[in-house]
Structure 1
Amino acid sequence: MTQWAWSARSCGGCARAEPTTDEFRRCCFERISPLYWRIPIFLWALTVISWSVSSFWGPVEMFLLYMTHWGLLMIVLESAFGIAMCMKKPSIELNDATFGLPWYVKTYWVLYNIAIPVAFLITVFYWGILKSSKQLHNYAPNPVLDIMLHGINSVVMFVELVFSGHASRLLHIMQPLFFALAYLLFTVVYYYAGGQDPWGNAFIYPVIDWSKPEQTMVVVTLTALFLALMHLLVVAVASARDAICRRLRTTAGIYNDGFGDES
């Protein structure tokens, strides 16, 4: 078994593990290839996105108006990079100064850090806010597709989280927040450019209506706080996962140092 390299740097009095490419290619519970869950997730995401496009309730060019579809694309990309990374044969790779990881591993890690909390956010936002909105639109005419887009999306990302063998870092919280900020800026530009939703409304989501900026900013602020909370949940789950893994192993392993500092 590949031995984990530990850094001598201090992290509040404890040693920290430097991430290696091998961590991203293995399952936390060992002897299980990540391909066993990443390939099904990738195929699931491709199927759902194809189904969503074919049954979209408006012009196809409006498909990417919605955060749900942005999140689905992130799952496609995250699982695709995860599969490619696992299938790539180990070799002498050109690393850079950031943790010594090759670019495709860092790209996967960023996608991972975004896709999981965003999936959780989409599920809670949809069922907790949109479904209770007085201006509710039928965002998924097919009830099965509705569950796939706004429920199973979180399930598959939870599977990715609990089986992955690499760390989730606390300070990576800015990555999903920057992603959400990009979507928010998109909604602002779309509104002031005169864009409409497929039903002719001057908003994409009724609770994010820039003709009512005060109300919208309250929703946006609460949503950002909840997304940050989702990232904290991801780090906590990863830490619990790694604690369980250590107890199951008879040899030294990795721990999730997500609550430590970051260099």
Structure 2
Amino acid sequence: METVVGYHTAQPGYLVQFYTIKVQRRRVGLQQVRDEFRRENLCLHHKVPHLFVTSQWQQQNRMSCLYLGYRLFWALYFLVWAVWAWVGSMGYNAPLHLKIHFLLYLTNWSILVLAVDTSLQAINVILHLKKVSEDGEAQYPAMPTRLKVSWVFSNVIGAIHALITASYWITVYPNRSDEKLTEIGVNTHIMPVLYVLLDSMVSATPRRLLHAYQPALYMLAYTLFNLMYYLCGGLDYLGRPALYPILDWTRPGSTIGIMSLVIVLLVPFLHALLCGLYATRVKAWRILKISRYVREDDETDQGEEGSQEQKV
């Protein structure tokens, strides 16, 4: 932490007044990027755990029922749609053996993970509010395991849902005549990425560039699962050997090449974009924090001056 000293004039003709505000020191430019690549940033430790259960825009030492409502809304929303998507997959009247195909697709894996993630975040916020209410303390001595798990889920669903949305609307939807835009399609291929973008600007959860390995490993796990399913003779619900056009193992060379680029380059790139949103959010918060301090200081000064005039 460091003290930033500045000055302003409350009104013309008055002496220049100095003010101080405690802000966390942040180096910019290449040094800040280098700091992101420190080895400890591979891990799931953080010095300020309560950031994972608060909004960027609330006062960190206070409870926020508004943020709790935000978390509960998204948890309920994606839980409902995860169940509804499974029930409605392949048609609401489809036999059970067809509905099992729901678990074969990356989109459906990820909507289930998103439902778990939003539910866990809501639980974490509830437990945090309970802690603040009982102990009067918002700080944590160490990073709880439940917050580490939530951090991993958030890292995974961010980049993966951005990938799913882009790849679906570019490669899948235009090339398959059986694909129709339904309420399930909207809530599995549009709403998740909108939520990710919104949450990147609302939540105080940090992002680390080196955590790109987490969504990359998730994507690798699905790719290996997809390959094993193909080798075992698995087909999609219409009897086709490829669950996705870019995962067509009848052309192993191109599929391996494409998925290597996706895992090694595209997923980390999408994760880096979300890290950029995180940095933008924090920068905006810092600017607003300093400007609010100056404004409140001005109002205090004007109030004191008015009191002096009344006394005279």
Note whether the superposition's TM-score is higher than 0.5. yes
Question: Does 2:133 correspond to 1:105?
Answer: no
1:12 Cα deviation from its structure 2 partner: 4.4
Residue in 1 that maps onto 2:233? 194
Preserved contact between residue 120 and residue 150 of structure 2 (Cα < 8 Å): yes
Report the Cα distance in structure 1 between the residues aligned to 2:74 and 2:261, rounded to whole angstroms: 30
Deviations 1:165-222 (A, max 9, x none): 1210010000000000110010011111111111111221132111110121233133
Letter in 2 for 1:46: L
The separation in 2 between residues aligned to 1:18 and 1:194, in whole angstroms, is: 45
| Partner Cα distance (1:40, 1:69) in 2 | 20
Aligned match of 1:171 in 170, 191, 210?
A: 210
- Counterpart of 2:84 (choices 51, 54, 64) is 51
Distance 1:241 1:6, change over 3 A: closer
Corresponding residue number in structure 1 for 2:18: none
Q: Does 1:236 align with 2:269?
A: no
Residue 289 of structure 2 aligns with which residue? 249
1:87 aligns with 2:115: no
Distance 2:204 2:291 in 1: 15
Distance 1:115 1:12, change over 3 A: same
Which residue, out of 231, 240, 251, partners 1:212?
251
* Aligned-partner SS, 1:249: helix
Tell me, in whole angstroms, the C-alpha distance in 2 between the residues paired with 1:26 and 1:221.
36
Query: Partners in 2 of 1:222 and 1:127 — Cα distance?
Result: 19
Q: Does 2:96 correspond to 1:68?
A: no
State the alpha-carbon separation in 2 of the partners of residues 15 and 125 from structure 1. Answer: 32
Percent of residue pairs bearing the same amino acid type? 24
- SS of equivalent to 2:269: helix
Task: Give the TM-score, by structure 1 length.
Answer: 0.81
Q: Closer, same or farther in 2 for the Cα pair 1:18/1:152, shift >3 Å? A: closer
Structure 2 letter corresponding to 1:86? V
Deviations 1:213-240 (A, max 9, x none): 0121233133222211110001000000
Q: Distance in 1 between matches of 2:167 and 2:35?
A: 38
Distance (whole Å) between structure 1 residues aligned to residue 99 and residue 79 of structure 2:
16
Q: When the two structures are aligned, how many residues end up with a matched partner?
A: 239
Q: Whose radius of gyration is greater, 1 or 2?
A: 2
Alpha-carbon distance change, 25 to 5 in structure 1, aligned in 2, over 3 angstroms: farther
Query: Which of 120-129 and 16-25 deviates more?
Result: 16-25
> Which consecutive unaligned segments of at least 5 residues does structure 1 have?
253-263
Contact 1:6 1:18 in 2 (8 A): no
Give the letter for the 1:29 counterpart: W
1:26 partner letter: T
- Distance in 1 (CA, whole Å) between partners of 2:35 and 2:170 is 41
**Higher normalized contact order (CA 8 Å, seq sep 6+, divided by chain length):** 1
RMSD: 3.0
User: 1 or 2, which has the higher helix percentage?
Assistant: 2
Amino acid of the structure 1 residue aligned with 2:78: A
Secondary structure of residue in 1 paired with 2:248: coil
> Who is 1:260 aligned against?
none
